Copies of this chain bind each other. A is one copy, B any other.
Amino acid sequence: MDNMQQQFLEAGTLMLAGMVFVFAFLSILIVFINTVLAKLAIKYPDPVAKAVSRTARKSPSNKTSGEISPSVVAAISGAVKKYRAQHGQD
C-alpha cells in the first residue's frame, strides 16, 4: 500500500500543479487580450467598407470571392427561364 500512497501523492501534486498552471496560462491570455489585442483593435480598426467582402471570404466555397463561375450563371438564367415558364409569370 506504500506504493499506492506514493502514487496518490504524485497524482495529487499533478492535479494541483496542473490546475494552477492551466489557470495561470489562461489568465495571462486574458491579460493579453485586454492589453495587446485591445490596443491593436484601436490602432487598426476594421475598414467599414470591407465588412461585406470579408463575409463573402468566409463562405465555405473554394472560389475566390466575387467570381461566379460561368456554369452557375448559365444555370441561373436557365432556371429563371424555366421558373417563369412553369409559373406563367412574365
Question: Which A positions have Cβ atoms within 8 angstroms of B?
Answer: 55-56, 59-63, 65, 68-80, 82-83, 89-90
Contacts and interface: CB of A to CB of B under 8 A. Distances in A.
Contacts of A73: 75, 79
Contacts of A70: 55-56, 59
6 contacts: A55-B70, A56-B71, A59-B70, A61-B69, A72-B72, A76-B76
Given A55-B70, A59-B69, A59-B70, A79 B78 contact: no
Nearest to A55: B70
A73 B61 CA distance: 13
A55 B74 CA distance: 12
